[in-house]
Chains A and B, each alone.
Chain A
């Protein structure tokens, strides 16, 4: 894939602190459309590293390329207008309406009025805020979460290929943060920006990052995808930083689809109880999933239910909530398994068609891999 952002031996030494390298010989490549979370203990240089990309902080040595262009050869102002920038404390302009805030960069780039309005409206729709309600309001009239969403929309206004985000959800309460993270990932699916995302929260780094860049005292310790980092931490520092529960963190990352046993045995609702009994005995299981003609989940039957004298299993089928779509995380799956008595989780697709099952042994298996 096309390399969108390239850091080459980037070093930052602050004047007055010559013995400390705030960022020390940092190199990495980021492909187009990837999110790179930059994480590390406080003072590790993650914000400094990010701010050198839009030259808010001048680098001491090294080179940064955006789409193959050396950023030091570009005009600073022009460079910044082509990079979306989101900061932790949002920094919406309080004297401007939401529409005006979003319009800032497009206006500087000389877009015409209609195009700017159109863009602002579509961005508000993208972040799930009704344009007619929010365009003419002022930042102080919005909640913190809404303001941060506007901050993201403002950064995307002129459709920059690269975005820098400095702890964008750091000041938001945990419930809203999770919501904003999910919403942001959903937006990213559509816009496919190349993003450098600074955070101090390792869980956020794992959740948001296609790549994680872990820094310690200005030095790159490990640069890998989250799954690789969790399974193969480069050294003890990484292992410690990921935490003792790094195996459990993988549960959050892995999807049911990757761990489930596909095409489990099922029984059609119109079959006879005798056939169900025979299947239970033959498969040596306690219960059996019942589906309709389209393989959609209806419930389950077990020996006890089959004691009743009926002609079709449909009539003794017990409903169950123990199912999740295949795109859910293993963590949610595990939780469901422990919540219900079925002993396993039924995995369905978007039409509620049964496509697999998952039990704790399957989870153990994939975590061991």
Chain B
């Protein structure tokens, strides 16, 4: 029993340890560590900007995405949903760099600035919202008709069915969409620098421009760390908020 429980943990920890060792080594030999320490204040400012870009765009994307995805499953709106899904699917195949460029080119047409944190946030939001809309819609749509019929027949009203049955049962799929979006956004956020959105992209692109690996790594590694921490945090959240009755089998307690 102990052996079996122990192996998966080892399997997870060993790659993480190897990665940390390699990254630390790169950090040291290219002088990224020295650069970071020297520019500590700027490091914190860029990290803070980066986190704001990620968190704000994600919060907006989750709110709008889950809302729209849910609305698409409601009676009356469900006729529009194939059209919306079509748009969302095309949108999702759009490269994120293209979305950033679109924000830069398109916002001035609306009389807004194409430069700065706001256009960057708008671009990131549009990148993040697609997987969430898609998964919310698919997740709720996949809840078995039998379950809905039983709930209706037992006298639940539409609101109770949504909040007690549909959303809880769609949650693993919705969480999957949120994790996809988060990974996408953390990776896209450095591009915000290109339209003056700030963040750790500043060091990455400066390093590339100066062909200085140290500066580039000093920007890239924190971005990767944020991605890992965010994914880990979301995985933990999923384990807490998703009912044990519908979690993936690996979490299931042996019977």
Contacts and interface: CB of A to CB of B under 8 A. Distances in A.
A161 B228 CA distance: 56
A105 B154 contact: yes
B42 interface: no
Interface residues of A, number: 31
Contact of A89 (B146, B171, B245): B146
B187 interface: no
A94 interface: yes
A84 to B, nearest CB: 8
B74 to A, nearest CB: 18
Contact of B245 (A78, A82, A104, A140): A140
B152 interface: yes
Interface string A128-167: 0000000000111100000000010011000000001000
Contacts of B149: 56, 87, 91
Contacts of A94: 147, 169, 243, 245-246
Main secondary structure of the interface of B (DSSP, over half): helix
B245 A105 contact: no
Contact of B155 (A80, A95, A97, A154): A80
Chain B interface residue number, banded: 20 to 34
Given A95-B245, A95-B246, A105 B155 contact: yes
Contact of A80 (B146, B152, B168): B152
A56 B153 contact: yes
A85 interface: yes
Given A94-B147, A95-B165, A95-B169, A81 B243 contact: no
A79 B147 contact: no
B146 A138 contact: no
Nearest to A56: B153
A112 B246 CA distance: 27
A293 interface: no
A96 B155 contact: no
B206 interface: no
Interface string B151-173: 11111110010001100110100
22 contacts: A56-B149, A77-B156, A79-B155, A87-B146, A89-B146, A91-B144, A91-B151, A92-B150, A93-B151, A93-B169, A94-B243, A94-B245, A95-B169, A95-B171, A95-B246, A96-B245, A104-B151, A105-B155, A108-B156, A141-B255, A154-B154, A155-B154
Given A77-B155, A93-B169, A95-B245, 6 more contacts: A80-B152, A85-B150, A87-B149, A93-B150, A141-B255, A154-B154
